[in-house]
Amino acid sequence: MPRIEGKLAIDNCIQPLRIKRNLTQQDLADAVDVTRLTIIALEKGSYNPSLELAFRLANFFKVRIEDIFFIK
Amino acid sequence: MNKLIRFLQNYLIIGLPLVVTYITLTNIGLGKFMHDVLTHYKFIWSLMGFGMIFWFVLLILFLISLVLIPSAREKTLKRLANLQERDEREQYITGKASRTAYISTLSLMILFLFFSVFTLSIYKNPPEKSANGRYTLSMGVHYTMLSKSDVHSRSEGTALFDTTDIFPSTSTVILILLIWQLLAFNLAARREQRG
């Protein structure tokens, strides 16, 4: 089985998806039930969400998780 | 129970300015003057005194409730510690900051424990015993469970330095630990929030 060592650099495309839908950070935060600061941290890439929040974001944008989050 | 805790909280907060005023006036000597000389203030002054006693009794009850009742602790100390857990990221930050605060407080407590049991003294020997040298250095380990005993070197000379003289009082140690923990938690949480 391959071993993955070190911390993975995970990036996301939440900001483009949000802008594409004409949403403010607060709108998205309300939709997925988090604070606006969390959306800011997600867009900056300084916070990796839980699997549950990742699913909520994917459901909201109607895309797959791997379409939002990917390894750099 | 929650209503009782809320009543205690509100009473303590509202009564605090009165208690501070009463204590300040008493300490500057105005309390006795108001009680003895101004006869029509006597009743108000006595009432304030009873109010203060009642305030302290409720304060004791409130502090005990913080230790014994988890919901009271959650509501009150969450505000004091500036805990914010509105979503998973804030819970994560709280966890990381708690870890930092716990580890750093533990290291401080170990240091305090060491300094409280370890004694180091430097004594200047009296002239009649100076044949063994002018100074005596004494080191020891002393642990008392119930109260701080008067531990000093058995040397008969003049103490130049003694660690038992510089170790802070129990209240100071507790205050330092309290401030340390609050600062460590808040600084770590702020650092985490900045990413």
Please write the tens of the pLDDT for every residue from A1-37.
Answer: 677 777 788 899 999 999 999 999 999 999 999 999 9
- Among candidate residues B74, B88, B100, B109, the one with its CA nearest the CA of residue B190: B100
DSSP state of B143: -
For residue B147, what pLDDT is reported? 64
Distance from CA of A11 to the nearest CA of B (A): 15
The two structure tokens encoding residue B126: 């009296």
Nearest to B88 among A44, A46, A50 (CB): A50
Are B89 and A46 an interchain contact pair (Cβ–Cβ within 8 Å)? Answer: no
Q: What is the DSSP string of B14-79?
A: HHHHHHHHHHHHHHTTHHHHHHHT-HHHHHHHHHHHHHHHHHHHHHHHHHHHHHH-HHHHHHHHHH
- Alpha-carbon dihedral angle through residues B178, B180, B181, B184, given to the nearest 10 degrees: 160
Would you call B150 an interface residue with chain A, using a CB distance cutoff of 8 Å?
no
Would you call B192 an interface residue with chain A, using a CB distance cutoff of 8 Å?
no
Q: How confident is the model at residue B148 (pLDDT cuts 50, 70, 90)?
A: low
Helix (H) or strand (E) holding B161, with range, is strand B158-162
- Interface pTM, i.e. ipTM: 0.84
3-state class (DSSP) for residue B159: strand
**Integer Cα distance of B98 and B101 in angstroms:** 5
**Integer Cα distance of A15 and A43 in angstroms:** 6
Q: How confident is the model at residue B102 (pLDDT cuts 50, 70, 90)?
A: very high
Work out the mean pLDDT of chain B and round it to a whole number: 83
* Interchain CB contacts (distance < 8 Å): A and B: 28
- Among candidate residues B175, B140, B170, B176, the one with its CA nearest the CA of residue B155: B140
Q: Is the CB of residue B138 less than 8 Å from the CB of residue B153?
A: yes
- Alpha-carbon dihedral angle through residues B15, B20, B23, B26, given to the nearest 10 degrees: -110
Please tell me which residue of chain B has the smallest CA distance to A33: B87
- Among candidate residues B99, B107, B119, the one with its CA nearest the CA of residue B189: B99
**Integer Cα distance of A46 and A25 in angstroms:** 16
Q: Check pLDDT > 70 for residue B153.
A: no
Q: Which chain A residues are within 8 Å of B86, Cβ to Cβ? A: 34-35
Q: How confident is the model at residue B137 (pLDDT cuts 50, 70, 90)?
A: confident
Distance from CA of B193 to the nearest CA of A (A): 8
pTM of the model: 0.73
| Interior angle at CA B118, CA B113 and CA B123, nearest 5 | 150
List the alpha helices (DSSP H) in A1-72: 14-20, 25-32, 36-44, 51-61, 65-68
Q: Which chain B residues are within 8 Å of A49, Cβ to Cβ? A: 88-89
Q: Is the CB of residue B103 less than 8 Å from the CB of residue B181?
A: no
- CB-facing half-sphere around the CA of B167: CA atoms within 13 A: 21
Q: How confident is the model at residue B38 (pLDDT cuts 50, 70, 90)?
A: low
Are A38 and B193 an interchain contact pair (Cβ–Cβ within 8 Å)? Answer: no
φ/ψ region of A23 (left if φ > 0, alpha if ψ in -120 to 50, else beta) reads: beta
Distance from CA of A1 to the nearest CA of B (A): 30
